[in-house]
Structure 1
Amino acid sequence: MTERTVFSQGVTAPRAGTYRVDPARSTVRFTTRGLFGLIKVVGTLAVREGSIVVADPLDKSTVRAVVDATSLDTASSTRDKHLREPGFLDVETYPDITFVSERLVESSGSWTLSGTLTVQRVSRPVELTITAAEPTNGEVRFQAIARTDRHAFGISKGKGAVARYQAIDLDIVAVLQ
């Protein structure tokens, strides 16, 4: 299959095949509020592994990814230690955060990847909006955004001190296998 334009913004979809996520060049960035909404908190999580199967037709494509919860970094070692503890991410017991896609849907020129996000053995639906797909020489960079609710995953400690919602920005590089 040849590369083809599928996004109304002119973003080119990669050719069909199985892609391996390159953890060294992929990041999960989150933004939330702290101190009762007074400060903006930005952090990152590393991608441990993942695969993207680009299908033909495109809506049959699938994604599976594992994020390393122990890699949480907000540029504050005190805050990071606290967020890794039981009551928040509990990374000693649950070192992985997983995403498994269920469907890819195009609507009005925008692509949404729906799937299941699992944090601490609690699985909830989440939708990723794909904002960019840039294929080049056997690899592709995907960018996507999402919004999560930590309470939906049973993480309710620190009400007020830590915001309920997080904006997620994904920057994923994957290599054709």
Structure 2
Amino acid sequence: MAREKFNVDTVHSEIGFSVKHMMISKAKGHFNDFDAVIEVDPENLEDSNVEATIDVSSIDTKNNDRDDHLRSGDFFDVENHPKATFVANDVKKKSDNNYDVTGDLTLKGTTKPVTFDVVFEGQSKDPMSGNIAAGFSGSTKINRKDFGLTWNAALETGGVLVGEEVTINFEIEAQKAE
């Protein structure tokens, strides 16, 4: 079977992250504006193409001051690097609905290989549109310093304000293109 194109339904999708905060909890956030081109062969998901783009300025951590700091040169530097991208270049089946999706992640002008642990949640006919919808969820962990996101502050009690390891996660619902 040939690849079929799916468009992300952003109303039913999310790209988020979490990072250790003050060495004792996790700060979480998500991006409000993103898109992806997903081309899959339903009979062979290993034959897939995924290209995602995130508008980094759409970051939302439920705190405007923190969001503004994350947009600044201390972190994402959205003035010079407004987009983050992920382009898959290898999909390997691990089990029934579980895949390793490896590709190039670009943040703040730095590109590094990253592997997402992805679950194909299945597909169903959307009763509202009559179209076929597919669901995918996944996550990975990166070291933010590898992408030039190095700002931090020492804590009086020892340790640092922001952890180095960032978990990126997503829940994607996509509609088959007509």
TM over 0.5: yes
The CA deviation at 1:108 is 4.5
* Aligned match for 1:141, one of 124, 135, 149: 135
Q: Deviations over 1:47-91 (max 9, x none)?
A: 422111102532121100101211111111111111110020111
Where 1:88 maps in the other structure, the secondary structure is coil
Contact 1:49/1:66 (<8 A) preserved:
yes
Separation in 2 of the partners of 1:77 and 1:64? 29
1:76 aligns with 2:54: no
**What's 1:43 paired with?**
29
Contact 2:133/2:176 (<8 A) preserved:
yes
Where 2:56 maps in the other structure, the secondary structure is strand
Please, which moves more after superposition, 64-73 or 38-47? 38-47
Where 1:103 maps in the other structure, the secondary structure is strand
**What's 1:19 paired with?**
6
Separation in 2 of the partners of 1:72 and 1:28? 10
The CA deviation at 1:24 is 2.8
Separation in 1 of the partners of 2:58 and 2:94? 35
* TM-score, with length taken from structure 1: 0.85
**What's 2:148 paired with?**
154
* TM-score, with length taken from structure 2: 0.84
Q: Which ranges in structure 1 are unaligned for 5 or more consecutive residues?
A: 2-14
* Cα distance change of structure 1 residues 170 and 129 upon mapping to structure 2, 3 Å threshold: same
Task: Let me know the Cα RMSD of the aligned residues.
Answer: 1.8
Contact 2:90/2:102 (<8 A) preserved:
yes
**What's 2:52 paired with?**
65
Q: Deviations over 1:118-139 (max 9, x none)?
A: 0111100111111342211111
Give the letter for the 1:121 counterpart.
G
Separation in 2 of the partners of 1:47 and 1:28? 9
**What's 2:90 paired with?**
103
* Aligned match for 2:79, one of 89, 92, 107: 92
* Aligned match for 1:130, one of 118, 123, 127: 118
Q: Which ranges in structure 2 are unaligned for 5 or more consecutive residues?
A: 126-131, 154-159
Contact 2:3/2:47 (<8 A) preserved:
no
Where 1:173 maps in the other structure, the secondary structure is strand
Q: Deviations over 1:135-165 (max 9, x none)?
A: 1111112111111111111111116221101
